[in-house]
Amino acid sequence: MLSDILKVLIVDDDYISRTNVKMLIDWDNEGFKICGEAADGKAAIEIIEDKSPDIVITDMSMPVLDGASLIRYIEQNYPCIKTVAISGYDDFDYVRQSMKYGAVDYLLKHKLDSKSLLDVLKAARSAIMEERRIKQNKDEIKKQLVEEREVLRQHFVRQLVLGVLNEEKDIADKINKLDMKLENQNLIVAVAEIDDFKLVQEKLSVNEINRLLSSILNIITDIIKDIERAAAAHIMNGRFAIIF
């Protein structure tokens, strides 16, 4: 069984047609799970909001809300969900509408078999996995950029407190580039220090000390977050500086 089980919603006003789709393949063994079924597009939307399916297989001709309208709604509100259109009519207009609104593929009921259904489900799976991979990469890059910027901010505060930076223009440029909400004048510095830090260093490993310093800095950052213009950094040897 595949590790990533995708949830599938089946939408068709014909109970026999829904049953036929459910019986065509071994869903669990192929890495899919039927999370619900609906007889019209409106009922399908309620299930989508509740069950969050990955794939929606929908008939095109239905009462209340037809397949084209459902596909369009999904595309506009749940772009991560892939849709598969099914119809009993060999009608180009249905094909055009379903593909226009983002359906992965279009299947005709009288030609539907296990292979064609499985092929389109696998195509939907590939598209979903690729989009998830891209999103994960973007999230990781974004996280890395945030972490790198935070390191640079820490370095800036350290330089500022230690007097490495003393030119007003340089300080203003750094504040602007690092998107820090600090004034470049009239700054107040507060200092916090871990008691008996040398003794702490003797008792803890390097990793434990780093975790301790990081935890304390997180606490300080959390305390000052309500101050609109403030920043904090570990300076050295268990000493922390807060600028505001």
Whole-number pLDDT of residue 96: 67
Whole-number pLDDT of residue 187: 77
Q: Are strands 6-11 and 32-38 parallel, antiparallel or unpaired?
A: parallel
DSSP codes joined into one string, 15-60: HHHHHHHHHHS-HHHHTEEEEEEESSHHHHHHHHHHH--SEEEEES
Whole-number pLDDT of residue 92: 59
| Sign, Cα dihedral of 195, 197, 201, 205 | positive
Work out the number of other CB atoms within 10 angstroms of the CB of residue 178. 16
Angle, nearest 10°, between helix axes 168-177 and 114-162?
160
CA distance 229 to 218: 17
Residue 234 identity (one-letter amino acid): H
> CA 228: distance to chain centroid?
28
Token representation of residue 13: 């006003």
Whole-number pLDDT of residue 98: 67
Long-range contacts of 118-122 (CB under 8 A, 24+ apart): 118/24, 118/25, 118/30, 120/84, 121/8, 121/25, 121/30, 121/32, 121/55, 121/84
Whole-number pLDDT of residue 91: 62
Whole-number pLDDT of residue 43: 96
Whole-number pLDDT of residue 1: 39
Contact 61, 32 (CB under 8 A): no
Contact 19, 39 (CB under 8 A): no
pLDDT tens, N- to C-terminus, the chain (244 residues): 344 899 999 999 999 999 999 999 999 999 999 999 999 999 999 999 999 999 999 998 889 998 889 999 999 999 999 999 888 766 656 666 667 667 888 888 888 899 999 999 999 999 999 999 998 888 888 888 877 887 888 888 888 888 887 777 887 888 788 887 777 667 788 888 888 888 888 888 999 988 988 898 888 888 888 777 888 888 888 889 888 8
Tell me the CA distances in angstroms from 98 to 44, 163, 240, one per residue in order.
16, 65, 60
Contact 36, 47 (CB under 8 A): yes
Backbone torsions φ then ψ of 8, nearest 5 degrees: -120, 135
Strand partners, 236: 239
Contact 16, 66 (CB under 8 A): no
This prediction's pTM: 0.66
